[in-house]
Amino acid sequence: MNQDAHVKKETVILLHGLVRTPRSMNTIAKHLRRQGYQVVNLGYASRQHDVMTLANQVMPQALAQCQADHTIHFVTHSLGGILVRAYLSKHKIEQLGRVVMLAPPNQGSEIVDKLGHLRLFKWINGEAGLQLGTDEMSMPKRLGAVDYELGVIAGTRSVNLILSTLMPRPNDGKVSVSSTKIAGMKAHLTLPVTHTFLMTNRRVLTAISAFLATGLFAN
């Protein structure tokens, strides 16, 4: 921890994305710990269950590791943001602070619409992945607006030119910028980063810190 950082009565729960592990959030975890936050970085079996089952498994585990007098924030990547929305649609967290979502498919993903029928796609992405389409019955669409302080960071750079053609531009190779937006969010930021590397980008880390502290992406 930096000498000028003080320990906060605030905990940040990190939730990784689809087909990822907690290691993908390690850079964010280290960054926030240096700033005095306590951090909970748990994994979940993203390919093995539907969205609501995953949310009901990982969220109580993560909350159980938070101190009772702490404000609880969330920083999520991709599917992790949908898990938070799913859980908060059914449960209230009294100590809830702010939420930062990186590249969340809040309106679903056109990739699921176009490739979800393929057996290989289902094998790679599991049941939760198949729930992330853009039709009105998809899980992201059914969850509705948010009523908490949410900041969304979307990427605009892609190295997967094939997948990028399957969705509106700009996009990050997996999720379009337009799909990351959701009614009720407080702030939205776009940065020239790919879906895979949002969690390690220095500008993203700075924006996360700013929103957790102030509710805005700009200091």
Scored b (16 or more CB within 10 A) or e, 5-37 reads eeebebbbbbbbbbebeeebbbbbbebbbebeb
CB 18 within 8 A of CB 29: no
> Tens digits of per-residue pLDDT, 60-109?
999 999 999 999 999 999 999 999 999 999 999 999 999 999 999 999 99
pLDDT attached to residue 13: 98
Please give the domain boundaries of the chain with CATH numbers for all domains: 10-214 (3.40.50.1820)
pLDDT attached to residue 88: 98
Higher pLDDT, 2 or 89: 89
Nearest alpha carbon to residue 40 among 8, 84, 10, 4:
10
pLDDT attached to residue 1: 44
Percent of the chain clearing pLDDT 90 (strictly above): 80
Residue 214 has pLDDT above 50, yes or no: yes
Nearest alpha carbon to residue 74 among 93, 90, 57:
93
Q: Taking residues 191-205, what's their average pLDDT?
A: 96
Q: Taking residues 45-67, what's their average pLDDT?
A: 95
Higher pLDDT, 165 or 78: 78
Residue 5 has pLDDT above 60, yes or no: no
- Using CA atoms of 189, 194, 195, 197 in order, give the dihedral in degrees to the nearest 10: -100
In this structure, what token pair is assigned to residue 107? 């309106």
Beta partners for residue 100, in sequence order: 75, 151
Q: Taking residues 182-204, what's their average pLDDT?
A: 97
Report how far apart, in Å, the C-alpha atoms of 129 and of each of 2, 47, 124 are: 39, 8, 9
CB 149 within 8 A of CB 98: yes
Of 1-10, 80-89, 93-102, 128-137, give the lowest mean pLDDT range.
1-10
Residue 115 has pLDDT above 90, yes or no: no
Gap between the terminal Cα atoms of the chain: 21
